[in-house]
Chains A and B, each alone.
Chain A
Amino acid sequence: MSGTDAAEVALFAPAPTRAVARRARTLMLPTVEQGVGDDANLICRYADGDVAAFEQLYERHRAPLWRFLKRQLRDEAATADVFQETWTRVIAHADRYRPTAPFGAWLYRIAHHCCVDHWRRSGRTRHREVAADDAALDALPDTHATGPAEHAMNSQAIEALHAAVAQLPDEQRAAFLMYAEGGLSLAEIAYATGVGPETAKSRLRYAAAKLRAAMSAAGQGDGT
């Protein structure tokens, strides 16, 4: 949600939302304005017993969250389990939600924790970032001049992109998927993954560079 949207919601929303916005402004929290909106209002209403509010919220986030988890876990059954676990935690802790962060960031933070718990339970060794990433990033061509958005992607390139995302280390993939699927901002990704904004940015930068390299190899990168 953009700042303007949030401001509009705060101005024209019903009383509970205005109360949330006032409280957020009083707390002077940096990311608060983004969290004050429909989602925050809906989860607050659900905590007060309004099931319709939850259904609306669920409808809004179900598909992106499902895709995020599916790409992270790469297993249909595990995705269903973790998806349900995430929403179970959201439901159980709805009363603890505070508009200090946008609902989306809170949701993906819970989902991220559920993923980590799942990996821990299943004994899977996480594919972590390595220091060699720095060297790999330096070796990649400068990708800022022109981006994939400026090229029409064919199905082959999309497949290559999906494959490259699957090959990313867990942290980088999580950061990229939160951006791509969840629509989270950099600060929100930092909050959701429990790291500083610079770390989150660094992960996104690595991920973008690797994806660009993979696309270049597939014939869709710069100069192709």
Chain B
Amino acid sequence: MKERSADDHALTRELDGLSHGYRGRPGDAPPAEVDAAVVAHARQLAGRQRRLPAWWVPAALAATVVIAFSLMLRVQQEAVMTPAGGEAAGPVPAATRAAPAEAPVGAALSEPSPQVAAQAPRAAPAAVAVPSGEPAHDTAVPEAAPARAAKLAPQAGVAAMRAPASAEADALPEPEAWLAKIEALEAEGRMQEAVAERERLEAAYPGWLEQRARSRD
């Protein structure tokens, strides 16, 4: 250790000697215009770089993590809720409820019907339940509902996660009552409202109106 220190000292002494000889031209300095440019730049930016407090970086990191996590949760929740609202909604006919459970989630998400877009804010679960252009489901008999419900039992946990969506679906009136209301509106001559309500009914219970008309025929 002592030897090493002596060695360092000797090196320093030698470097000092060389430096002494080397630093022989004190007049060697930057030109005035370079000085002026640097100082002018410094004046221009003075105070623009505000010193950040020491806690800034960890705080920013923590905030980023929290935001990213909540976003991820939200996206995940929406992805789960979107295809499954139909089965969770109590009053939806079994024929229409069966569709989302059998259709792959990816398919339901990638091919939303135009109705989905129209009704997404209010009745997204029910609307997404039936992919567009699948009349086969419309002809399914209502009696099949219990059997399908039994098949879907393992998904009860998922359904539980969709509680908010199903609550919203529960808020929808029964189709019969809804139709009666529409007919009342038509009777009162409030045709625009009646048409709008009819469209909503069709979106919430796809095929129900057609099925009912057929059964009447």
Q: Which residues of A approach B to under 8 Å, CB–CB?
A: 44, 46-51, 54-55, 58, 62-63, 66-67, 70, 80, 83-84, 87-88, 91-96, 143-144, 147-150, 153, 157-158, 161-162, 165, 176, 179-181, 186, 201, 204-205, 208, 211-212, 215
Contacts and interface: CB of A to CB of B under 8 A. Distances in A.
B42 to A, nearest CB: 5
Contact of A158 (B14, B24, B30): B24
Main secondary structure of the interface of A (DSSP, over half): helix
Closest 10 CB pairs of A and B: A49-B47, A149-B17, A95-B49, A180-B19, A147-B17, A144-B10, A148-B17, A153-B21, A147-B14, A63-B29
Contact of A46 (B12, B15, B23, B42): B42
B217 interface: no
Nearest to A79: B30
Nearest to B37: A84
Contact of A51 (B10, B13, B43, B49): B43
Contacts of A47: 47, 49-51
Main secondary structure of the interface of B (DSSP, over half): helix
B51 A95 contact: yes
Given A87-B38, A150-B17, A176-B18, 7 more contacts: A58-B35, A63-B30, A83-B38, A91-B45, A94-B49, A147-B14, A149-B14
A176 B11 CA distance: 12
Nearest to A185: B12
Contacts of A96: 49
A26 to B, nearest CB: 11
A31 B113 CA distance: 68
A144 B28 contact: no
Contacts of B26: 63
A215 B34 CA distance: 34
B168 to A, nearest CB: 51
Contacts of B13: 144, 147, 149
A201 B28 contact: no
Interface in B25-68: 25-26, 28-31, 34-35, 37-39, 41-43, 45-47, 49-52
A45 to B, nearest CB: 10
Contacts of B10: 144
Given A84-B37, A95-B52, A204-B11, A66 B17 contact: no
B47 A144 contact: no
Contact of B42 (A54, A66, A95, A165): A54
Contact of A179 (B8, B19, B34): B19
Contacts of A80: 30-31, 34
Contacts of B21: 148-149, 153, 157-158, 161, 215
B41 A88 contact: yes
B30 A48 contact: no
